[in-house]
Structure 1
Amino acid sequence: MSTVEQQLDELEATITDELPAGVSVTSVAYEGPELVVYTRDPKRFAQEDDLVRGLASRLRKRITVRPDPSVLSQPERAREEIMDVVPEEAGVTDLDFHADTGEVVIEAQKPGMVIGRGGATLREITKTVGWTPEVVRTPPIESSTVTNVRNFLKQEREERREILERVGRQIHREEMSDDEYVRITTLGCCREVGRASFILSTPETRVLVDCGDKPGAEGEVPYLQAPEALGAGPQNIDAVVLTHAHLDHSALIPLLFKYGYDGPIYTTEPTRDLMGLLTLDYLDVAAKEGRTPPYESAMVREAIKHTIPLEYGDVTDIAPDVKLTLHNAGHILGSSVAHFHVGDGLYNVAFTGDIHYGDTRLFDGAVNDFPRVETLVMESTYGGRNDYQTDQDDSERKLKRLIREAHEKGGKVLIPAFAVGRSQEIMLVIEEAMREGEIPSMPVHLDGMIWEATAIHTTYPEYLRDDLRSRIFHGEDNPFLADEFNHIESGEERQEVADGDPAIVLSTSGMMTGGPVMSWLELLGPDSDSTLLFVGYQAQGTLGRRIQNGRRDVAVGDGRDTVSVNMDVETVDGFSGHADRAGLENYVKTMSPRPEKVLCVHGDERSVQDLSSGLYHDHNVRTFAPKNLETFRFL
């Protein structure tokens, strides 16, 4: 008998002893980080909700209780009884029963009303029908991505369960080594922006944190063939953690499965969906530009199938000696600071991914409140000594002034924007300004993936700021459904907009490295009445940076044609999803306790060295500005 089987037998015996007489346990199993308890008495568990809480506390494990299939009522009858329990105002749109696990997935427009205060309605459902309810939101804006992901996971439910059971056994296996150390190996994004990737190693475990591409630098990928990564084979990696969905962090996650990786990916639920959206578009853009994509779309599906979504604040075992907790990073929807607790209090490491420390219209600022962090791996995109962004209120005033001026001239405003994050931030500013009469009402055309990304934002309002979340919950006040917003779907529509009245166009890609913004540049570039307005970071080597630096004749299409950019070219700082120099310093300064060491990464050479020097001199923290392929040993 394996140690895991023995462990499960002991857990089953312990749980049986802890439960009141007459409450049965038919089996227990690991599914990923959770311990699943099957019972013939699910209604008793629902009636006595302290049972699960007590078991979780006693065993120090996340516990899910499911009904044994032998005691399930017929779905037709259960459907009627569930609809009697759930308030009609919840807007239930679908019920999906899964007899193999005893779960019923309830899709509703207002999930909170299905859950009830403190989970009371969920418990009432189980008490009534025995099935275990799982609740998901009906997207207020129809999202093909959310629908496709949910349908795919439903199709692959059986295989996914096998994956989770295998992962669970790996997490809870017996520790093999008596050594104690923690190491971090840099595989990318050191003294550069993009291709974020790190290996966190212990004697037991190797965790890959992020795996992205480098904007504007085709072929520069993380050093995955290093011995610490895939150089010793795909089985060398035990888990992958994805901080957020931007391509410079996520683009090459599916490539891991092409190389043979078959383990879990830990991230938030919206990051999973956005990763699917952005990586599939990444493949599409590569094909349109005549480049060979690094992997097939089937690998994107594999990545989604292997993803284990986590909520902010949940402490989760991901290996025998590693616990992971994700915290809000304030950068984009679902973005996370990944905190790793290694061993039994041995060492703590946090990776910021990309962070925004102050509040924005979309998100609360990044979390920096941890029980312990000995080493912090921190982004430095705007870490240079002069990288201070404009105050957000000033930025919004400038944005509105430039829109008014372009409108008065009869021109258009073209805003290259990342589909995820900055587009929605700009949409909120424009919606409010038009509603309050600060700028003229005019069409706002959303091109590329912006509309779909916005739909995903409305699917997960619990990741947004409270006031925005409330507006989305009350559908009639949803700012993303304002009449001015229009989804562009064809080249003919672009031409009509270019020939028409004043308008605003938000289009991907944000750094003008491809996508429909290139068509808009061809259509609007020669128009001196129009304005090209940058609102996000433009990396070295990108077309956006070249135009920002003064280039006015630029190659388009296959490179044989050029466009003269006669538009006004403007930049509005303050809308970046990244903290500026002050924000980065404050993030470290206000941590309590402060980290002993900080690795400054994800910034050009000047930025990482300036930030590293500043933190050392001003805050007495030991700092490093590592190069790629360096390894740091702690302990």
Structure 2
Amino acid sequence: MTKYLDEIREKVKEYLPPKVRVKSIEFEGPQLVIYVENPQELAEVDIVKKLAKDLRKRIIIRADPKSLKPPEKARQIIMQIVPEDARISNIFFDEENGEVIIEAEKPGVVIGKQGSTFREIMRAVGWSPRVVRTPPIKSKIIDNIRNYLLSVREERSEILKRIGERIHRTSLIDEKWVRVTFLGGSREVGRSCYLLQTPESRILIDCGVNVSNLSSTPYLYVPEVQPLDALDAVVITHAHLDHCGLVPLLYKFGYRGPIYLTPPTRDLMVLLQLDFLEVAGREGTNPPYSSNLIREALKHTITLDYGVVTDISPDVRLTFYNAGHILGSAIAHFHIGEGHYNIAFTGDFKFEKTRLFDRAATNFPRLEALVMEATYGGPNDFQPSRKEAEERLIEVINRTLDRGGKVLIPTFAVGRSQEVMIVLEEAMREKRLRETYVYLDGMIYEATAIHTAYPEYLNAQLRDLIFYHGINPFISENFVRVDSSSKREEVISDPSPSIIIATSGMLNGGPVMEYFRHLAEDERNTIVFVGYQAEGTLGRKIQKGWKEVPFPVDGRREVVEVKMEVETVDGFSGHSDRKQLMNYIRYLNSKPEKVATVHGDESKCIDLASSIYKTYRIETRAPMNLETIRFV
């Protein structure tokens, strides 16, 4: 490692101007960090780009900590430099990256004409400024994550150095092969978990929980995975619990390595894991880990934006691409060796533009193998278009409101809730839906706040609506947050027609249960399912026509009669339907030689694999759990 760093130091000297005073050069996680005493002399971004291209590393130029103004002093200087009309709402310091993040209502004013104010800030305080737009909704979870990472910065610095040494260790094995062991989520939905192996590396992709059966966990005890600390990395495709719910458990049993994920996935993952523990405690079940292990996992997270190529082991580079499923969801693309092999894991993905996101990416530099979801891979799994689904939802709501009823929409906090909110806001604005209050209960408000903090992850149309037309559908006056049991009781007892969006999406817990219990017996009301209802859940039973539902109330059993109207509006799913799954293969710019189908019922995984083979003549498999496939 020392010799390798010496070679890099010589290369850096060739690129940097003589007046730049380099203090030290170190690997921190996947990044090569160059500490300089006078970073303001490095205004030319091209130097960094050229250096990164030549060294094939992620390069960060960072001010030597000794050359930085103390945070409080720097804050005062920044407030003096930046014009008042920028309306700065927050300034906080990321000591790990030597950055000062400036939140402002008008980011352009902070940057200044051709970056003049930006450069003045850097010269005056030493910190590298990063300017972001003030989110319209404050996120408590984002603030807590920032503060926590700041509190453990010294420990995290040591963690990143250790990870950096591991990533850039010398390769010792000349053999070349790639294999994947399927540890969960194969021929089933839930507990997604896959192990990617090369002679040099072991990488875990996702580590999910089966929410309906906590004892059903991924096969983490098999020899291929043990000991856990021998893993090079954990890669998380998105924040749903069936993909990330058991990540903290890895640290309970010895893993000490990094977790790679997008910034929104990190924040949503923490939100959903904390809620998972809260629900388990409320229902009297023993959760598999405690909140201190969520913090331990957070300490090891390394966030990557879409399109950033990153070394995560001696012979594997990772790149995230948009998956179109939920905020921050990613297709994980692995480039193995120097052009040896390329394999991608889709996670959950949507191959259709939605109200929130662009459709899943299909443009990869190379792709020899693909592991893809098959949730709706059955021969009859066709969904109506999003436009048809929206019109149907509005028609059902109008009908219910006209007769004086309430509409209850059970949703997942992340993704479907925000899609429905945008549809309702637009319909009311355009007078296609009568104006009424839309009550948001559960984690929906906090999840929506996280969406507003990452506008760059939303599609261009929605960004334009927010930034250039002054219309932010997330902060419509029609949306009312329900943040207490008394407010919930008020919403239920209010005789006025209204719309209620509440978690959980399958009626297997959460505040939606209280609404259902009180609204079910009034035939003027309607319950509308806009998401998948798994077999065995209360939502599925009601879909099937159950008219009497047993309910535990204060230690006794109560039977609730279902007289309300029951409607299912398909088309809002964040998963691709059968047609989209087949089209995804067609539109890939680089056709894979092998495809494995996972994350679906057994029959759907098999049928989709068979259809891909028949249509495209690509070698396909529908692997079972504990099966290992050698790809090359």
* Structure 2 residue matching 1:107: 3-state secondary structure: strand
- Structure 1 residue aligned with 2:517, among 522, 543, 556? 522
- Percent identity between the two aligned chains: 54
For the structure 1 residues 459 and 75, does the alpha-carbon distance in structure 2 shift closer, same or farther, using more than 3 Å as the test? Answer: closer
Amino acid at match of 2:503: T
Amino acid at match of 1:61: K
Deviation for aligned residue 1:518:
1.1
For the structure 1 residues 194 and 117, does the alpha-carbon distance in structure 2 shift closer, same or farther, using more than 3 Å as the test? Answer: farther
Check whether the contact 2:193–2:204 (CA below 8 A) recurs between aligned residues: yes
* Structure 2 residue matching 1:599: 3-state secondary structure: strand
Question: 2:585 & 2:93 partners in 1: Cα distance?
Answer: 47
Corresponding residue for residue 217 of structure 2: 221
Deviation for aligned residue 1:51:
2.3
Deviation for aligned residue 1:418:
0.5
Question: 2:515 & 2:224 partners in 1: Cα distance?
Answer: 44
What is the root-mean-square deviation in Å for CA atoms of aligned residues?
Answer: 2.0
Give yes or no for the alignment of 1:543 onto 2:530.
Answer: no
Alignment of 1:174-323 (within 5 A): 174-229=170-225, 232-323=226-317
TM-score with structure 1 length normalisation?
0.95
For the structure 1 residues 555 and 90, does the alpha-carbon distance in structure 2 shift closer, same or farther, using more than 3 Å as the test? Answer: farther
Amino acid at match of 1:34: Q
Corresponding residue for residue 620 of structure 2: 623
For the structure 1 residues 115 and 249, does the alpha-carbon distance in structure 2 shift closer, same or farther, using more than 3 Å as the test? Answer: farther
Corresponding residue for residue 449 of structure 1: 443
Deviation for aligned residue 1:475:
9.3
Question: 1:556 & 1:216 partners in 2: Cα distance?
Answer: 18
- Structure 1 residue aligned with 2:398, among 395, 404, 412? 404
Check whether the contact 2:244–2:269 (CA below 8 A) recurs between aligned residues: yes
Question: 1:289 & 1:101 partners in 2: Cα distance?
Answer: 41
TM-score with structure 2 length normalisation?
0.95
Check whether the contact 1:140–1:475 (CA below 8 A) recurs between aligned residues: no
Deviation for aligned residue 1:181:
0.8
Give yes or no for the alignment of 1:45 onto 2:42.
Answer: yes
Question: 1:518 & 1:552 partners in 2: Cα distance?
Answer: 16
Question: 2:569 & 2:455 partners in 1: Cα distance?
Answer: 27
Amino acid at match of 1:165: K
Amino acid at match of 1:191: R
Amino acid at match of 2:517: E
Corresponding residue for residue 505 of structure 1: 500
Check whether the contact 1:243–1:249 (CA below 8 A) recurs between aligned residues: yes
Question: 1:18 & 1:322 partners in 2: Cα distance?
Answer: 27
Give yes or no for the alignment of 1:5 onto 2:15.
Answer: no
Which ranges of 4 or more aligned residues in structure 1 deviate by more than 6 Å? 98-101, 116-120
Corresponding residue for residue 350 of structure 2: 356
Q: Which runs of 5+ in 2 are unaligned?
A: none
Alignment of 1:11-30 (within 5 A): 11-30=8-27
Corresponding residue for residue 462 of structure 1: 456
Amino acid at match of 1:323: R
Question: How many residues in Structure 1 have an aligned counterpart in Structure 2?
Answer: 629
* Structure 1 residue matching 2:497: 3-state secondary structure: coil
Question: 1:266 & 1:551 partners in 2: Cα distance?
Answer: 44
Q: Which runs of 5+ in 1 are unaligned?
A: none
Check whether the contact 2:405–2:525 (CA below 8 A) recurs between aligned residues: yes
* Structure 2 residue matching 1:561: 3-state secondary structure: strand
Amino acid at match of 2:550: A
Deviation for aligned residue 1:303:
1.6
Question: 2:199 & 2:116 partners in 1: Cα distance?
Answer: 44
Check whether the contact 2:94–2:150 (CA below 8 A) recurs between aligned residues: no
For the structure 1 residues 201 and 626, does the alpha-carbon distance in structure 2 shift closer, same or farther, using more than 3 Å as the test? Answer: same
For the structure 1 residues 215 and 116, does the alpha-carbon distance in structure 2 shift closer, same or farther, using more than 3 Å as the test? Answer: farther
* Structure 1 residue matching 2:288: 3-state secondary structure: coil
Question: 2:258 & 2:131 partners in 1: Cα distance?
Answer: 23
Show CA shifts across 1:16-49 (max 9, x none): 2332222221110111111110112212112x33
Check whether the contact 2:19–2:41 (CA below 8 A) recurs between aligned residues: no
Corresponding residue for residue 375 of structure 1: 369
Question: 2:160 & 2:37 partners in 1: Cα distance?
Answer: 23
For the structure 1 residues 218 and 98, does the alpha-carbon distance in structure 2 shift closer, same or farther, using more than 3 Å as the test? Answer: closer
* Structure 2 residue matching 1:477: 3-state secondary structure: coil
After TM superposition, the structure 1 stretch with the greater mean CA deviation from structure 2, 307-316 or 19-28, is 19-28
Give yes or no for the alignment of 1:393 onto 2:387.
Answer: yes
Corresponding residue for residue 69 of structure 1: 65
Give yes or no for the alignment of 1:427 onto 2:424.
Answer: no
Show CA shifts across 1:150-197 (max 9, x none): 111111111111111111111111112122111101111111111111
For the structure 1 residues 185 and 123, does the alpha-carbon distance in structure 2 shift closer, same or farther, using more than 3 Å as the test? Answer: farther
Amino acid at match of 1:269: P
Give yes or no for the alignment of 1:167 onto 2:163.
Answer: yes
Deviation for aligned residue 1:87:
5.0
After TM superposition, the structure 1 stretch with the greater mean CA deviation from structure 2, 395-404 or 107-116, is 107-116
After TM superposition, the structure 1 stretch with the greater mean CA deviation from structure 2, 412-421 or 605-614, is 605-614
Corresponding residue for residue 478 of structure 2: 484
Corresponding residue for residue 582 of structure 1: 579
Alignment of 1:110-149 (within 5 A): 110-111=106-107, 114=110, 122-149=118-145
Question: 1:414 & 1:452 partners in 2: Cα distance?
Answer: 20
Show CA shifts across 1:487-541 (max 9, x none): 1122222222222211111111111111111111111111111111000111222
Question: 2:556 & 2:157 partners in 1: Cα distance?
Answer: 48
Check whether the contact 1:69–1:101 (CA below 8 A) recurs between aligned residues: no
After TM superposition, the structure 1 stretch with the greater mean CA deviation from structure 2, 60-69 or 400-409, is 60-69
Question: 2:130 & 2:109 partners in 1: Cα distance?
Answer: 13
